[in-house]
């Protein structure tokens, strides 16, 4: 059984729980003012960890809810339910994200969309795939014709943060063809890899939000960086992700805000 097989089994195990329960109200606790965790997050995490620990007990795990804070260079990185707020409200955009990093670099990635039954997968050097069909980023080369995704950090209610984030949104609305805020960064990156989005930016994510999506995008021919084109801070990643053709245009626009 390959590492990709293990990741896919783990993601599908959590996806089965999500599909069975179908979204909508669940028992909730708050990690912050707008940051939720539900009984379903925990059930999904338990399902993922059971598969990973059974097949690869030697590999440590970094997971969002309770699986430790492994800083090992080789590790699984798991978001058992990306898009919890969407799930709680029955808004059908959420996913399970599982990535394996080897020597600090993405090696295997799976993002599973249980709503549409789509498995986005990648292995370093072997391309990115969706349910067996090879993915390629879009060929859009003009920001004015681009569909761009974003999200808003959990600290948006604090101080002047909302005004700060919406300055970037306003700039993008003025310059891109359209802007979408779906509420699940893993799905944004998977759709970018599939060519459904042309670019994406956000502030203050966590590494489990983007670890799998980064490999998907890069294996599909796209580019993942910080807003300035440099490396992303893995503690609180603020990524700029594009099909490659739009990267410089996005960097210039973000710098001007």
Whether 188 and 92 share a structural domain: no
What integer is the mean pLDDT of 131-142? 98
Q: pLDDT (tens digit, 9 = 90+) per residue, 25-82?
A: 555 444 544 344 578 888 999 999 999 999 999 999 999 876 566 789 999 999 999 9
Q: pLDDT (tens digit, 9 = 90+) per residue, 72-95?
A: 999 999 999 999 989 988 899 999
Whether 103 and 76 share a structural domain: yes
Whether 74 and 163 share a structural domain: no
Whether 79 and 122 share a structural domain: yes
Whether 126 and 160 share a structural domain: no
Q: What is the CATH number of the domain that holds 75?
A: 3.30.540.10
Q: What is the CATH number of the domain that holds 176?
A: 3.40.190.80
Query: Given a cut of 90, is residue 162 above it in pLDDT?
Result: no
User: For residue 9, what are the contacts with CB-CB under 8 A and spacing of at least 6?
Assistant: 51, 55
Domain with 206, as residue range(s), is: 143-256
Whether 125 and 172 share a structural domain: no
Q: What is the count of structural domains for the chain?
A: 2
Lowest mean pLDDT among 68-82, 108-122, 147-161, 184-198: 147-161
Whether 111 and 170 share a structural domain: no
Query: Given a cut of 60, is residue 11 above it in pLDDT?
Result: yes
Whether 27 and 45 share a structural domain: yes
What integer is the mean pLDDT of 4-18? 97
Per-residue model confidence (pLDDT) at position 30: 46
What integer is the mean pLDDT of 153-157? 73
Q: pLDDT (tens digit, 9 = 90+) per residue, 173-194?
A: 999 999 999 999 999 999 999 9
Lowest mean pLDDT among 98-102, 222-226, 232-236: 232-236
Mean of pLDDT over the chain: 92
What integer is the mean pLDDT of 185-208? 97
Whether 124 and 158 share a structural domain: no
Which sign, positive or negative, has the C-alpha torsion 150, 216, 102, 184? positive
Q: How many CA atoms lie within 13 A of 117 on its CB side?
A: 1
Whether 47 and 126 share a structural domain: yes
d(CA 85, CA 147): 23
d(CA 74, CA 61): 9
| pLDDT band at residue 131 using 50, 70 and 90 as cut-offs | very high
d(CA 141, CA 198): 9
């Amino acid at each position: 059984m390959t590492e990709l097989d293990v990741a896919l089994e783990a993601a599908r195990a959590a996806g089965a729980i999500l599909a069975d329960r179908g979204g909508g109200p669940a028992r909730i606790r708050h990690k912050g003012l707008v940051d939720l965790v539900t009984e379903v997050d925990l059930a999904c995490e338990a399902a993922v960890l059971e598969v990973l620990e059974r097949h690869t007990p030697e590999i440590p795990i970094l997971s969002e809810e309770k699986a430790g804070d492994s800083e090992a260079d080789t590790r699984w990185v798991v978001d058992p339910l990306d898009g919890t707020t969407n799930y709680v409200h029955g808004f059908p955009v959420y996913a399970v994200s599982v990535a394996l990093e080897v020597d600090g670099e993405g090696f295997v990635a799976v993002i599973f969309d249980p709503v549409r039954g789509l498995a986005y997968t990648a292995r370093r050097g072997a391309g990115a795939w969706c349910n067996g069909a090879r993915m390629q980023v879009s060929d859009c080369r003009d920001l004015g014709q681009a569909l761009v995704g974003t999200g808003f950090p959990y600290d948006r209610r604090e101080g002047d943060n909302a005004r700060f984030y919406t300055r970037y949104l306003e700039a993008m609305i003025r310059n891109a063809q359209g802007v979408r805020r779906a509420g699940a960064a893993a799905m944004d990156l998977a759709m970018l890899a599939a060519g459904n989005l042309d670019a994406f930016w956000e502030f203050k994510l966590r590494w489990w939000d983007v670890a799998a999506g980064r490999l998907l995008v890069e294996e599909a021919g796209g580019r993942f960086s910080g807003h300035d084109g440099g490396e992303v801070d893995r503690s609180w990643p603020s990524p700029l992700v594009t099909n490659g053709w739009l990267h410089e245009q996005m960097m210039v626009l973000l710098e001007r805000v």
